[in-house]
Amino acid sequence: MADKPIQGEKRMFVTGNEAVAYAALAANVDIMYGYPITPQNEIMHYFTRLAPKFDKPFLQTEDEISAGFTTVGGVMSGKRSFTATAGPGNTLMQESMSMAEMMRIPTVVVIMQRGGPSTATVIYSQQEVTMTCYGANGEGIRVVYSTCNHQELYDYTIKSFNTAWKYRIPTFVLGDGYQAKMRESLTMYDPEARGIKMVDTYPLVGLPGSPGVDRDPAHLRNTYNTEEELYEVVSNLVKDYEAVAPEIVESESFDCDDAEVVVLAHGVVSRAAVEAVRELRKAGIKAGHFRPITLRPFPDKELKAVANQAKKLLVVESAQGQFAKLVHHSLYGDSTPMEYIFKPGLGITSDEIINKVKAML
């Protein structure tokens, strides 16, 4: 059996899907569960090619409902477990992930967004924002990292296991079909070599001793008998989530300090925004870019500070306003004028952003 999937550090040229598979192995994941769907297939392909070398199993389930629930089960047994999916598969996993929210099961799910609604296209979109953040009959007790390049796919896949297990909150890495299939270089590393300690995992069920006698009962429940009982449970979930949110929240801003127009984008689209801001600055136009890395919890405080300084905001996304809804919610009461580029299922180039910003001035 090989020693470690990545020794030290290594510069590699890969697709985003491969970056995720390697990151999961580097994070010393115990098992992957999954069901094939484009554009995430190579996460599974590469995991199944690599995992046997490191004595790690993979279970292909009969569908995504099962892949989600087996991931929950794997975590309950104390295994660092994950799954990956896209589009309709993400839809089917909402039931199991809402169970994970209710029972505080630290699952990790990697989403490579494809076109929607329904089967739509296998290729690309940012239309799984609402679903990944809030897609179940609950309050969205989740962490969602929206990555913009392969390095981040690698970094945040590793980080997601630690976030999930540290806080016991289901955690999602939100990529997209472009990131999944695109090729670029990144540094793969052994987390330990960078001083990143993987948070210990432990079984949530089957604990030694008798419940109520030797220890408290585990009380993993997703069903409650009365409204009052549920109200108390959900209130506590929300309270706990809000208490740790400031530690989890992440964002980035570029050239926002004196910006007249700030471009708001997330994920792969923020690459176009960064490029647009660079070009606009060269042309003497004061543009900036703000990017939430966590879509859940959302960086409200950081965005408000940027919005207060800007004269105008431009929200850009490959969806019909799903990201804009998060922005509106976050900036409620702020009067900075806002304009939009919504292109569901289509890529957005820096030129489009540049032209729009110029038209806004």
Partner 1 sequence: MVEAYIGEYASGKSENAVNRALDLLERGRTVTLVDLDIVEPFYTLRPIKKELEAKGLSVIAWETGDTVGLGEAGNLLRGDMLWALRREGDIVLDIGYGVEGSKTLNLLHGAHQDPELRIIAVINISRPMTSSVQDVVDYVRDLGPVHAILNNTHLGEETDEQIIQEGAKVVAEAAKILGLPVEATAADEKFRPTLGETDAMGHPVRYLHRLMPKTFW
Point out which residues bind partner 1 (CB under 8 A): 11-15, 18, 22, 38, 42, 49, 119, 122-124, 177-178, 181, 183-185, 188, 347
Sign of CA dihedral 300, 306, 312, 318: negative
Decide whether 28 or 98 has the Cβ nearer to partner 1. Answer: 28
Interatomic CA distance for residues 129 and 144, integer angstroms:
9
3 state DSSP class of 331: coil
The nearer residue to partner 1, 181 or 289, going by C-beta atoms, is: 181
What is the smallest separation between the CB atom of 341 and partner 1, expressed in angstroms? 17
Query: What is the smallest separation between the CB atom of 223 and partner 1, expressed in angstroms?
Result: 37
Distances from the Cα of 269 to the Cα of 19, 32, 274, 290, angstroms: 19, 29, 9, 12
User: Nearest CA to 183 among 18, 2, 56, 35?
Assistant: 18
Whichever of 88 and 321 has its CB closer to partner 1, that residue is 88
Residue 289, φ and ψ in degrees, nearest 5: -140, 135
In the bound state with partner 1, the residue whose beta carbon lies nearer, of 188 and 303, is 188
150 — alpha (psi -120 to 50), left (phi > 0) or beta?
alpha
15/160 with CB nearer partner 1: 15
In the complex, what is the shortest distance from the CB of residue 125 to partner 1, in angstroms, rounded to a whole number?
Answer: 12
CB of 189 to partner 1, least distance (A): 13
- In angstroms, give the least distance from the CB of 137 to partner 1: 29
State in angstroms the smallest separation of the CB of 121 from partner 1.
8
Give the pair of three-digit tokens for residue 9. 């550090």
Query: What's the CA gap between 105 and 309, in Å, rounded?
Result: 40
Residue nearer to partner 1 on the CB measure, 18 or 300: 18
- Kindly state the tokens that stand for 285: 């136009």
